[in-house]
Structure 1
């Protein structure tokens, strides 16, 4: 099965596809439960722990004429170093609504990036240059604020800090529209429908794929054993986006109607949008390096510094101006990124980062710690 790779201990592959419906055709042929599917307008990622299931998927994909591209497989994660890992873990578990796993804190639906917390051995008292935005439905944000015992602060009045000063902007979302009350606007417009069978879930995926193609609107359609998440991606529902505004609300309403016809009801509890910000003295230089390393694309909007995964499988990064004299430039962050890639792709990623201005800080057989020109770190991992 040359098209499958082990990523985070899971057999993973990506198939290019010409439309949502072309990818949904493969979903319709999946008999196995327990397969994670991330369907996009340009293809789909599949993850399974079962070699037999992987083989059946490969055969079905080949029958449909789909082509695999394992070179694009990656997982972007976040790691904290903390003097008191237990206290820091407790804060982020609550803020993100994550679950404890052997690999760290994890989104139960395995959509948003995994977070790990490691022991800090030296003092780094200044604010990080890397920070987190997490957007959840307003009730969930109220609960996070109550659990933290803090009053939100900062320029937008939404910042909270863990016990060691690592900050998150914990932003309350709101319902998308009176016409599409199942949906929430959490930077991205999204809805989750729990399902009771693989047949029911597959029917919803196929219906949503057709509606998205008809509307010429790219969606994230993520199938899990627990249900189906439908996500419009960051800001793509807003008035100034292509097919945004009233057109997106109409698509959301039609998807909602299709779900109701299948007897489905929404559950807002799993809804979450997570992105990472980097304070930068030279945002253009850093953006180029991170885009090159991650295979990301720049957001085309003026005055927006976002870079994003063209397959919408990994988190958005954005850059904020930092004064060159800011004392934080002299201190290592307590936060760094981790990039998990297939073993046969690691050296290519390292070479790419070095060609764009990165430098190696530490290296072993299973990892390579790199720094960008301003000291922000990413650890390229191949551990299975």
Structure 2
């Protein structure tokens, strides 16, 4: 799968590329030449990311719309384990999808990670994933795989004031089989409101999300959410919360300011402006939120969880306390 990012001045400009590609894909499927290969499209306030097997058609469509190729790196996380199949099954169940790959671990690392994972899903999905497992931890939501990698699997509820949206740290909604018309409408509404949205267009449907805590920090977001669900209802669409998930990563640190400064600069992230919040976030809203927690005593062991930045000529880098990332140019 190849990935490209195009800079765009608005959600609407990015949605135009999504609509353009959808028309072309429909034509290709109608001829019977290619039944698969429909691209995954992520529309944002400042551009659009496209992932596809072949980017030739994507590039041609972007040129027609006057979009310029830019730079946007993808941050991912991998877990190293002695028994990858078993550990992969656990994480796929917790996240509801294979979004965190598990690789083989060359050496045992029995101590606790300094990096941990939060997954927030609708309450019913969390209960299904837990099964008979009993959560623990300070908030009563922590589960661990057989090798000690921990996840806080957090239940979320419907967003008050809406019928379709869920509050999963991020406000989110998913419409199966949504037409590109809804992508365009949501983009136009977001631009008019001046609120950044994440519009993830997939063959199976459209997922729309705001930034973390948006409905609490921006009173106008609720109006935008109501407008979007109204547009969806006009199209006869019904929301399905099952695929929704919010994932963020926490780093425990002895020197939180130093470690946070490293990751802010390394990832090109921005700091959350709230004084009591340690979050840093991707200004393009493509990569997950990171947050930082105070560590009371050193944990010198290498993590089994590490970050990866997509790119060629990758090399291993570490922050001031030894947390690792594979980075490429």
Shift of 1:87: 2.4
- The unaligned stretches of length 5 or more in structure 2 are 26-37
Asked if the contact 1:368/1:381 (under 8 Å) is kept, the reply is: yes
Asked if the contact 1:306/1:316 (under 8 Å) is kept, the reply is: yes
Asked if the contact 1:17/1:66 (under 8 Å) is kept, the reply is: yes
Which residues in structure 2 correspond to 1:1-384 (within 5 Å)? 10-30=1-21, 31-33=23-25, 34-50=38-54, 54-69=55-70, 71-72=71-72, 74-98=73-97, 105-106=98-99, 115-146=100-131, 149-177=132-160, 179-195=161-177, 201-238=179-216, 241=217, 244-245=218-219, 247-323=220-296, 326-328=297-299, 330-341=300-311, 343=312, 346=313, 367-380=314-327
Shift of 1:236: 1.0
Q: TM-score, normalised by structure 2?
A: 0.91
Residue by residue over 1:107-149, the C-alpha shift from the partner in whole angstroms, topping out at 9 and shown as x without a partner, is xxxxxxxx22223343322211000000000001111221xx3
Residue by residue over 1:258-308, the C-alpha shift from the partner in whole angstroms, topping out at 9 and shown as x without a partner, is 111112111111100000000011122112221222111111111111111
Shift of 1:327: 4.5
Equivalent-residue separation in structure 2 for 1:161 and 1:293 (angstroms): 29
- The unaligned stretches of length 5 or more in structure 1 are 1-9, 99-104, 107-114, 347-366
Q: When the two structures are aligned, how many residues end up with a matched partner?
A: 316
Instruction: Determine the structure 1 residue equivalent to 2:31.
Output: none
Shift of 1:381: 5.3
Equivalent-residue separation in structure 1 for 2:179 and 2:267 (angstroms): 31
Equivalent-residue separation in structure 2 for 1:28 and 1:81 (angstroms): 39
Shift of 1:368: 1.4
Shift of 1:66: 1.9
Equivalent-residue separation in structure 1 for 2:59 and 2:109 (angstroms): 48
Asked if the contact 2:6/2:68 (under 8 Å) is kept, the reply is: yes
Q: TM-score, normalised by structure 1?
A: 0.78
Equivalent-residue separation in structure 2 for 1:158 and 1:374 (angstroms): 27
Aligned-CA RMSD value: 1.7
Equivalent-residue separation in structure 1 for 2:78 and 2:176 (angstroms): 30
Asked if the contact 1:201/1:223 (under 8 Å) is kept, the reply is: no
Asked if the contact 2:254/2:298 (under 8 Å) is kept, the reply is: no
Asked if the contact 2:2/2:51 (under 8 Å) is kept, the reply is: yes
Q: Summarize the Cα distance change of 1:86–1:55 in structure 2 as closer, same or farther, 3 Å threshold.
A: closer
Equivalent-residue separation in structure 1 for 2:321 and 2:102 (angstroms): 23
Asked if the contact 2:190/2:224 (under 8 Å) is kept, the reply is: yes
Shift of 1:209: 0.8
Equivalent-residue separation in structure 1 for 2:306 and 2:51 (angstroms): 26
Matched position secondary structure for 2:93:
helix
